[in-house]
Amino acid sequence: MHDAARHEHPQRAAKAALLRRPRQLVIKIGSSVLADDRGISRVQMDRLAAEIAALRKGGLALTVVSSGAIAAGRAELDMAQARTIPERQAAAAVGQIVLMAEYQRAFGVHGVKVAQILLDAEDLASRRRYLNAEHTVASLHAGGILPIVNENDTVAIDELKFGDNDNLSALVATLVAADLLIILSDVAGLFSQNPRLVPQAERIPLVTRVDAAVLERAGATADGASGLGTGGMRSKLLAARKAAAAGIATIIADGRVPGTLASVLDVDADVGTLVLPQADRLARRKHWIAYSSKPAGTLSCDAGATAAVVDRGRSLLPSGIVAVSGRFQAGDCVSLAAPGGDEFARGLVSYSAGEIARIAGKRSSEVEQILGFKMGDAVVHRNDLVLTGRSEAPLRSRLAAGRRSAP
């Protein structure tokens, strides 16, 4: 065997396949990369702008998801900390102006126009607003404008927050059908141990699947030591898992190192941690149902309907529904609950809550007689339904046990 082949780094084959013809990239820039205790670092901002502008010249459509508004606002307001929601909102309101002014200045040097997009959880939970955001980003790309996305911290409260911009970056990557999500942090990827405490800790260059073992290891890999960000390595891996479900690869790398972005796209460069996409890619519509939508209600299902959906990939029929909770209209997302109350799936309903309450437990052939119209046999069609996987294995075991004990 040739020496080059024998010593090929673990990422090379995967990167060669994934980056054959990349067109859409999402780059998430963490607060620890952009800012310090004195606010936005112009040195870092200018370097990143130059690297991103160079990638755009290569014909790539780029979308930036940027943290840093709260850090910039804290520095502008001379706030030592911003712990409460009102304090974070105030810091973000001031800092967002500073952050975007710096982006405009830095990219202006390279002749790149930028646009600000502020999102909150409701924007991507609503299918209509999700599509509006998708069209806005596409229009900006068509006009040669760089979209810069941030969570709308000025109005976000606990119930509406994405949690951190890592999660937001995965949702944006799905929104734009990205080929690759790049998460720039202040560590060089996932390590076997905390590299700040254990100098001999080894970087893990390739993760094929983000499972419980990988997430447990992330607990030993600290990042965000500056205290400026909200997400640690675990949040980055959870974001990568969401992106992977949409068929999108993720690379987590150190954004403070010059040339990192070019190295990420260089097949011969071993940089960061590459998280591979899942082979069983979810359709974008189903990914939205699973990760972006916020259930407006719950349909409680009997054991037969639960088994039909989980084991046989069937649609949910009215005959399998035993109870309806929440207020929702046709087209809204609802949670499907098994006997005992565990959520096992989410889906888009064909009927409103009041209409489903009237036909629950009835045969599909009775729907038109009861309602005076019929949208179809299914309350939730299998094409509009996705298993959430929260308790899929134990759920299957309970269903199987129930079938064995049935007379």
Instruction: Express as a percent the part of the chain with pLDDT over 90.
Output: 50
Q: Which of 104-118, 275-289, 376-390 has the lowest mean pLDDT?
A: 275-289
DSSP 8-state code for residue 265: T
Q: For position 4, what pLDDT does the model report?
A: 44
Q: How confident is the model at residue 405 (pLDDT cuts 50, 70, 90)?
A: very low
Helices (H), 176-302: 212-218, 233-245, 260-264, 284-287
pLDDT of 6-42, one tens digit each? 457 888 888 888 888 778 999 999 988 998 778 899 9
Residue 81 has pLDDT above 90, yes or no: no
Q: For position 296, what pLDDT does the model report?
A: 93
* C-beta neighbour count of 38 within 10 angstroms: 8
More confident residue, 156 or 89: 89
Class in CATH terms, 295-405: mainly beta
pLDDT of 188-230, one tens digit each? 999 988 888 888 888 999 999 998 888 887 765 544 444 444 5
Across the chain, how many H-helices and E-strands are there? 17, 15
Amino acid at position 29, single letter: I
Q: How confident is the model at residue 156 (pLDDT cuts 50, 70, 90)?
A: low
- Across all residues in the chain, what is the average pLDDT? 85
Q: For position 341, what pLDDT does the model report?
A: 93
> Per-residue pLDDT averaged across 157-181, rounded?
80
Distances (CA, A) of 294 to 121, 176, 341: 9, 20, 18
CA 222 – CA 205 distance, rounded (Å): 17
> Per-residue pLDDT averaged across 145-160, rounded?
74
Instruction: Express as a percent the part of the chain with pLDDT over 70.
Output: 86
More confident residue, 293 or 1: 293
Q: For position 300, what pLDDT does the model report?
A: 98
Q: How confident is the model at residue 393 (pLDDT cuts 50, 70, 90)?
A: very low
Q: For position 163, what pLDDT does the model report?
A: 58
3-282 folds as Carbamate kinase (3.40.1160)
3-class secondary-structure state, position 119: strand
Q: How confident is the model at residue 310 (pLDDT cuts 50, 70, 90)?
A: very high
pLDDT of 30-80, one tens digit each? 988 998 778 899 999 999 999 999 999 988 899 999 988 888 888 888 877
pLDDT of 335-368, one tens digit each? 999 999 999 999 999 999 999 999 999 999 999 9
* C-beta neighbour count of 130 within 10 angstroms: 19
Q: For position 211, what pLDDT does the model report?
A: 87
CA 112 – CA 233 distance, rounded (Å): 31
Q: For position 375, what pLDDT does the model report?
A: 86
Q: Is 141 exposed, middle or buried (0-12, 13-18, 19+ CB in 10 A)?
A: middle
Q: Is 280 exposed, middle or buried (0-12, 13-18, 19+ CB in 10 A)?
A: exposed
Q: How confident is the model at residue 390 (pLDDT cuts 50, 70, 90)?
A: low
Domain residue spans of the chain = 3-282, 295-405
Nearest to 168, CA basis, from 223, 117, 106: 117
3-class secondary-structure state, position 172: helix
